[in-house]
Amino acid sequence: MSYKIKSRIWIESEDNVLLGEGRVHLLKAINKTGSLSKAAKSLNISYKKAWQLLDSVNKSAKKPVTINSIGGKGGGGAELTDYGKSLVQAFDEINRNCWAFLDKELAKIERL
Amino acid sequence: MSYKIKSRIWIESEDNVLLGEGRVHLLKAINKTGSLSKAAKSLNISYKKAWQLLDSVNKSAKKPVTINSIGGKGGGGAELTDYGKSLVQAFDEINRNCWAFLDKELAKIERL
DNA sequence: AATCGTTATATTTGCTTAGACATAACGATA
DNA sequence: TATCGTTATGTCTAAGCAAATATAACGATT
């Protein structure tokens, strides 16, 4: 009962990271705010870091994860593609399943 | 097929880390060499880092994980207790099971 | 009591990484 | 064509963390 088991999972393609917890948080924030800069602010990370993360996600994904537009109405913005939304959903599901799985496994330590 | 899913798991008690991959590597090396300093060398980490890791393990464990002796024949040494050995074994098993579990889950991403 | 290799611990040095700052490019709208 | 808020990118500084260095304490063996 007194121990907690924790995990971090991430998905790589080649040697780039496609998705991890930070990247998924960012994608969710983009979906909520419609803009990369607003998403960065809401997560309290610098715009640059957010941009680098998003760039790396789009570069290692098979299909575009976001559509980014520069200039125009409101200066531009970013929004998730359907593919991006389903990636986020799948990652969350895997993560939740992993936690549940590990919680069961932890018993092997508790009973020692 | 082109994506890989990776994970790191660790076990906490209160807010100290009991076991993680680095700590388990260290425990295995101690078991092999019979000494903390030799274990550190074999893992290419500084003695100080090794000592800090081991100290934190022993502080957060319910029972002693290693027996460390200072001075005496050969200057001293460190060896795993039976409890320590079974902790290492259990952690390895959980880790392997987690990998297998996640490999199956990855299909949810591949088929998007 | 002198030796030896170890555990145990503090201090300082260096390096990688994150953050702050600055600025260019863009295009719809007015 | 001037404005505006955004995306996109470079540079420089700061800070946190890892590594290197130094040294004390220890006790069986000789």
Give the per-residue pLDDT at A1.
60
**Number of domains forming the structure of chain A:** 1
A90 in a domain, yes or no?
A: yes
- Contacts (Cβ under 8 Å, ≥6 apart) of B23: B17, B53, B54, B56, B57
B8 in a domain, yes or no?
A: no
- Contacts (Cβ under 8 Å, ≥6 apart) of A21: A8, A9, A10, A95
A98 in a domain, yes or no?
A: yes
Provide, in whole angstroms, the distance separating residue B70's CA from nucleotide D25's C1'. Answer: 9
B49 in a domain, yes or no?
A: yes
What was the ipTM of the complex prediction? 0.88
The answer to whether the beta carbons of residues A43 and A29 sit under 8 Å apart is yes
Residue B67 CA from chain centroid, whole number: 16
Which CATH number is B96's domain given? 1.10.10.10
Query: Across the interface, do A90 and B98 touch by the CB < 8 Å criterion?
Result: no
A88 in a domain, yes or no?
A: yes
Protein-covered nucleotides on strand C (Cβ within 7 A): 4-11, 18-22, 25-29
Taking the C-alpha atoms of residue B68 and residue B34, their distance in angstroms, rounded to an integer, is 10
B10 in a domain, yes or no?
A: no
Burial class (CB in 10 A: 0-12, 13-18, 19+), B36: buried
Give the per-residue pLDDT at B96.
98
Taking the C-alpha atoms of residue B68 and residue B30, their distance in angstroms, rounded to an integer, is 11
Provide, in whole angstroms, the distance separating residue B31's CA from nucleotide C24's C1'. Answer: 59
Chain A residues close to B24, C-beta within 8 Å? none
Structure tokens at B92: 């390895």
B54 in a domain, yes or no?
A: yes
| DSSP-derived secondary structure for A60-103 | HSSS-SEEEEESSGGGEEEEE-HHHHHHHHHHHHHHHHHHHHHH
Give the per-residue pLDDT at A109.
96
Say whether pLDDT at B9 is over 90: yes
Say whether pLDDT at B1 is over 80: no
Confidence of residue B100 (pLDDT cuts 50, 70, 90): very high
Confidence of residue B79 (pLDDT cuts 50, 70, 90): very high
A7 in a domain, yes or no?
A: no
Q: Which long-range contacts (CB under 8 A, 24 or more apart) does B29-32 make?
A: B30/B54, B30/B66, B30/B78, B30/B79, B30/B80, B31/B79, B31/B80, B31/B84, B31/B85, B31/B88
Query: Across the interface, do B10 and A6 touch by the CB < 8 Å criterion?
Result: yes
- Nearest residue for D19, CA–C1': B46
**What confidence tens digit (pLDDT) does each residue in B36-46 have?**
999 999 999 99
Structure tokens at B40: 């550190």
The answer to whether the beta carbons of residues A80 and A31 sit under 8 Å apart is yes
Structure tokens at A48: 């640059």
Q: Please report, in tens digits, the pLDDT of each residue of chain A (112 residues total).
A: 689 999 999 999 887 899 999 999 999 999 999 999 999 999 999 999 999 999 999 999 999 999 999 999 889 999 999 999 999 999 999 999 999 999 999 999 999 9
Query: Across the interface, do B2 and A18 touch by the CB < 8 Å criterion?
Result: no
- Which residue in this structure is represented by tokens 């803009």? A35
- Phi/psi at B79 (nearest 5 deg)? -145, 155
Structural domain of residue B100, as residue ranges?
16-110
Give the per-residue pLDDT at B2.
87
The answer to whether the beta carbons of residues A22 and A40 sit under 8 Å apart is no
**What confidence tens digit (pLDDT) does each residue in B81-98 have?**
999 999 999 999 999 999
